[in-house]
Structure 1
């Protein structure tokens, strides 16, 4: 995805990010993917997850199942 394509996404801050101006993640969703970037460096590389992978990651508790 190019920077121009990335700019077309509707980015929002993670609900876990505070308003202190520190390290924040921004997310953008598409029908097939969840894009994640550093809010301080929005034009740099981003990580793209499939929706299934994101659901597994976001639901991870750190405890063995």
Structure 2
């Protein structure tokens, strides 16, 4: 897959929903009007971009276990 060119220069940040133990590290970037999500351990694999509402639903689903 590789990096999407338009996401090459965005500022990624570790999601506040990731653990602090170095395990599940998800990074997010605001790419208005969407939210980009990637695995910080393998950022070259690809990204998922979601509408803010879909990102909120995703986080709620994951939090429920």
What TM-score do you get using the length of structure 2 for normalisation?
0.70
Is the alpha carbon distance of 1:20 and 1:35 closer, same or farther for their aligned partners in structure 2, counting shifts above 3 Å?
A: same
Match of 1:33 in 2: 34
- CA change 1:33–1:22 in 2 (3 A) is same
Aligned positions of 1:12-51 closer than 5 A: 12-51=13-52
Query: Size of the alignment, in residue pairs?
Result: 61
Superposition misfits of 4+ residues, deviation over 4 angstroms: 59-62
Between structure 1 and structure 2, the one with the greater Rg is 1
**Unpaired segments ≥5 residues, structure 1:** none
User: Structure 1 length normalisation: TM-score?
Assistant: 0.70
Determine which structure has greater relative contact order: mean sequence separation of CA pairs < 8 Å that are 6+ residues apart, divided by chain length: 2
Q: 1:56 to 1:21 in 2, by over 3 A?
A: closer
Alignment correspondent of 1:57? 58
Q: CA RMSD in A?
A: 2.1
